[in-house]
Structure 1
Amino acid sequence: MHELYSVIGFAYPKPGRATDLKEILTSFVEPTRQEEGCLEYHFHQDGPDAFAFYEVWRSKEDLDRHLALPHMKAFWESRMDYLERDLEIHFVTMLSPYPRATT
């Protein structure tokens, strides 16, 4: 089995923009889960001023295809309208076995 591509990210909204940012990021959940190659996609809130997301993709190519979608490109270009500081993104290696087949 090939190595999965995992992402953990954090978003910190500007004052007064948390609700807007939450709505945008929440709107990405279901469509992203339907994309080819998306194995996990979760969105979390940590108090009023922090959001986190966790993603697992079958490959980097699948993630790249996701990021090239029009709504993702639009968000990337306007993200600083909502964020106190840029997204904190970590690409991590999954060490535990993935529970279902990925091929």
Structure 2
Amino acid sequence: MSITIPSSSGPVALVGVARPRPERAADLASLLQSFVAPTRAEEGAVDYVLHTAENGDLVFYERWRSAEDLAAHLALPHMQEFQDHRMEYLAEDLQIRWLTPVGD
């Protein structure tokens, strides 16, 4: 999966859903949790929150100052490593929904 970031002159936000393989659910949760603090510390990161859904999916919400900041995040070695090996953890590929703010 190649993530194509929509062009934007302002902030970029997304919701992602990761459906783990049942035997790798705990591993995926731990891995994604390990990304939270470093991601929040990155320049341009406005918000990054990881959730667990009632069906066991992991849902993350990200908001970035710009598309360039998100692109820099996705180019980091640990994010490249995850992208390259994600299907070892996932039952199906990541679902990404891009969000556009409404109003202020």
TM-score normalised by structure 1 residue count: 0.89
What does residue 73 of structure 1 align with? 80
* Alignment counterpart, residue 20 of structure 1, candidates 7, 24, 27: 27
Q: Does 1:45 align with 2:52?
A: yes
Cα offsets for 1:57-83 (capped at 9, x unmatched): 000000000000000000000000000
- Measure the CA separation in 2 of the matches of 1:27 and 1:50: 17
1:85 is paired with a residue whose SS is: coil
Q: What is the CA distance between 1:50 and its match in structure 2?
A: 0.5
Amino acid at match of 1:91: W
Identity of aligned residues (%): 47
Report how many residues are paired. Answer: 96
TM (norm. structure 2) is: 0.88
Deviations 1:1-21 (A, max 9, x none): x52100110000012111000
Deviation sequence 1:17-74 (CA, Å, 0-9, x none):
1100000000000000000000000000013520100010000000000000000000
| Misfit runs of 4+, over 6 Å | none
Deviates more, 1:47-56 or 1:60-69: 47-56
Query: Can you give the 5+ residue segments of structure 1 that lack an aligned partner in the other structure?
Result: 98-103
- Alignment CA distance shift 1:48-1:20 (3 Å): farther
CA RMSD of aligned residues (A): 1.1
